Amino acid sequence: MPTMRAIQVSRANGPLELVERPIPDPAAGTVRIKVQACGICHSDVLTKDGHWPGITFPRVPGHEVIGVIDAMGKDVPPRWQAGQRVGVGWHAWHCGWCDNCRRSDYYACQTGVQVTGISIDGGYADYLVAPATALAEVPEELKAADAAPLMCAGVTTYNALRNAGALPGDLVAILGIGGLGHLGVQYAARMGFRTVAIARGKDKEPLARELGAVHYIDSQSADPAAELTKLGGAKVVLATVTHGPAMSATVGGLAPRGRLMVLGAAGPMEASPLTLLMGRRAIEGWYSGTSIDSQETLAFSVQSGVRSMNEAYPLEKAAEAYDRMLSGKARFRVVLTTGN
Ligand SMILES: [Zn+2]
Ligand SMILES: [Zn+2]
């Protein structure tokens, strides 16, 4: 039986182990993908530490996958063909028939969303098998390692921004300049928003401006809410940080009908009900998106020149690469390449 390399976790909090596994065969409705690159996302902690309810082991993490379809299961729509280059993100499958799916609220599928690298094996491997519902087309112009982080960090920021209600010329703030934030600033600027970057300290200002921010707020030396108010108030604040109080500090800087879009899985935050109701301000959570959202993220990234800044590691060094991601020091996303 032909085998492949895979990086698996055998138990909650277990190490990332390099193992040889049989190359899987695609079941009905799925395709097998030869992986070229897979990004390492902070959410992979949910797999490694076993925090996802009902997760079973061994499990291969990875939900920022780029590769080529190399085998087709039965009943895959002709839209997808062997040899096609595809991406797979967080959202792998939803049922399509429950009440929430029938309202197009696929993220809330009552049958249970299948998540790549959590419910099914992910992209830290030479091959993965993915449902046809998970597939996004990858433009030729994008190299695999460049495209991979766009399948989660990219789609999350792009899709939140395009659904937040701001129009070209509106003031839009990106809170945090990290893996998500450095993409958020680029998308916001390319979408025509008057883009503000908010981060701790002065050192990220030159980069934020290079990425397209026209204003920079150092949240250590100034009050972000007051600064945003001076600029006229933000129609949208995209909160990419994982610190609740940092999010709370921006609510007072929202314009009337402004929205704080929460992307970072942070601890509790606070907001004054009076601030919310007097200006009809809102706080909304955002979830990445489905395969068509990923596909449109890749297409927009090519069209507008948005690029993820990455550090690449070979697949065998997944454990080292994962630690680098956890350290928070990577600039900005960490990507595994297979050499396939
Ligand atoms: Zn992710
Ligand atoms: Zn459903």
- Residue pLDDT, tens place only, 154-209: 999 999 999 999 999 999 999 999 999 999 999 999 999 999 999 999 999 999 99
For residue 91, report the distance from its CA to the centre of ligand 2, in Å.
Answer: 12
Task: Indicate which ligand has the atom closest to the C-alpha of 112.
Answer: 2
Give the pLDDT confidence score for residue 14 in this predicted structure: 97
φ, ψ for residue 314, nearest 5 deg: -70, 155
Nearest CA-CA partner of 32 in 88, 112, 95, 107:
88
Extract the tokens encoding 86: 């595809």
Q: Do the Cβ atoms of 67 and 110 come closer than 8 Å? A: no
Cα distance between residue 336 and residue 38, in whole Å: 5
* For residues 325-338, average pLDDT: 95
From ligand 2's centre to the CA of 131, what distance in Å?
15
Neighbouring residues of 10: CB distance < 8 A, sequence distance ≥ 6: 17, 57, 58
User: Stretch 284-303: mean pLDDT, rounded?
Assistant: 97
**What pLDDT is attached to residue 267?**
87
**Mean pLDDT score of the chain:** 97
Ligand 2 mean position, distance from CA 262 (Å): 24
Identify the pLDDT of residue 51. Answer: 93
**β-pair type (254-262, 234-239):** parallel
- pLDDT tens-digit series, residues 18-71: 999 999 999 999 999 999 999 999 999 999 999 999 999 999 999 999 999 999
Compute, in angstroms, the gap from residue 267 CA to the centroid of ligand 2.
Answer: 28
State the ligand closest to the CA atom of 95. 2
Q: How far is ligand 2, taken at its centre, from the CA of residue 136, in Å?
A: 20
Task: Please give the Cα distance from 30 to 180 (Å, whole number).
Answer: 30
Smallest Cα–Cα separation from 264: which of 7, 14, 47, 41? 41
Give me ligand 1 centre to Cα 221, in Å: 31
Distance 41 CA to ligand 2 centre (A): 25
Ligand minimally distant from the alpha carbon of residue 102: 2
C-beta contacts of 318-327 below 8 A and 24+ residues apart: 318/7, 318/16, 318/18, 318/40, 318/124, 319/7, 319/15, 319/16, 321/40, 322/16, 322/40, 322/44, 322/48, 325/40, 325/41, 325/42, 325/44, 326/42, 326/45
Q: Name the closest ligand to CA 108.
A: 2
* Alpha-helix runs per DSSP H in the chain: 45-48, 99-102, 144-147, 153-162, 181-190, 205-211, 224-230, 244-248, 273-278, 291-304, 318-327
Confidence of residue 269 (pLDDT cuts 50, 70, 90): very high
From the CA of 91, the nearest ligand is: 1
Q: And the tokens for 81?
A: 């063909």
CA distances from 143 to 36, 288, 335 (A): 9, 22, 12
Q: Which ligand is nearest to the Cα of residue 100, counting in written order?
A: 2
254 CA distance to ligand 2 middle (Å)? 34
Collect residues with CB below 5 Å from ion ligand 2: 94-95, 98, 101, 109, 111
Determine the Cα–Cα distance for residues 222 and 111; give it in Å rounded to an integer. 46
pLDDT at 266: 82
pLDDT in tens, 177-189: 999 999 999 999 9
Percent of the chain with pLDDT over 70: 100
Give the ligand whose atoms come closest to the C-alpha of residue 117. 1
pLDDT at 335: 98
Question: What digits encode the pLDDT tens for the residues 195-248?
Answer: 999 999 999 999 999 999 999 999 999 999 999 999 999 999 999 999 999 999
Above 90 in pLDDT, residue 1? Answer: no
* Count of H-run helices and E-run strands, the chain: 11, 17
Nearest to 91 by CA among 128, 149, 35, 134: 134
Compute the Cα dihedral for 291, 65, 263, 235 and give only its sign. Answer: negative
Backbone angles phi, psi at 12, to 5 degrees: -55, 130
- Ligand 1: centre distance to CA 135 (Å): 16
The whole-number average pLDDT for the span 302-324 is 98
